[in-house]
């Protein structure tokens, strides 16, 4: 069970961006350098973030990206959702009426994984970008 780097990078990049957001658009090149993430990869990630209206792009010289919402309105859920980082515990969710194992009932542990998904998603729904920034300020990293 692990987090993909696409999800991690998306959050890292947005925290970075949010810190400089007030003044000017932030270029991916700068984020790339500061955070040590490949520029090409960042572009893929921001393309998705833009489509989900989490950031806005500013083209041309001095361009870059800007947050499209307030930092406290952007939750981790939104970010992960944008880059297709999902919490998957069981396969059998959407496939017809069948349960897991190809049988007609739910598997013995179905409810468990449901609980787990909820548990994790709650965490993601509560944390906002603002929380992360505050957290960093306090720890002075």
Q: Using CB under 8 A as the criterion, which residues of the chain lie in contact with a second copy when the complex forms? A: 1-4, 7-8, 11-12, 15-16, 35-36, 85-90, 101-103, 105-113, 115-116, 119-120, 123, 127, 132, 135-136, 139, 141
Q: For residue 64, list its beta bridge partners.
A: 58
Residue 140 to residues 7, 37, 131: CA-CA distances in angstroms?
24, 22, 14
Among a second copy, DNA, none, partner that 79 touches (CB below 5 to 8 angstroms by kind):
none
With CB under 7 A as the contact rule, the residue among 19, 34, 41, 127 that binds DNA is 41
Instruction: Please name the residue that has the structure tokens 């409810």.
Output: 111
Min separation Cβ 140 and DNA, Å: 27
With CB under 7 A as the contact rule, the residue among 19, 50, 69, 127 that binds DNA is 50
Give the tokens for residue 15.
């925290």
Instruction: Give ∠ CA 19-33-35 in degrees, rounded to 5.
Output: 55
């Amino acid at each position: 069970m692990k987090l993909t780097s696409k999800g991690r990078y998306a959050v890292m990049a947005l925290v970075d961006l949010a810190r400089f957001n007030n003044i000017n658009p932030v270029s991916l090149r700068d984020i790339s350098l500061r955070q040590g993430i490949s520029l090409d990869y960042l572009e893929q990630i921001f393309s998705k973030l833009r489509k989900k209206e989490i950031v806005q792009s500013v083209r041309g010289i001095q361009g870059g990206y800007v947050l499209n919402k307030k930092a406290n309105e952007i939750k981790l859920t939104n970010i992960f959702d944008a880059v297709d980082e999902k919490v998957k515990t069981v396969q059998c969710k959407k496939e017809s009426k069948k349960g897991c194992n190809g049988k007609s009932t739910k598997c013995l542990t179905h409810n468990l994984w449901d609980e787990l998904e909820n548990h994790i998603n709650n965490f993601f729904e509560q944390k906002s970008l603002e929380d992360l920034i505050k957290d960093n300020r306090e720890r002075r990293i």
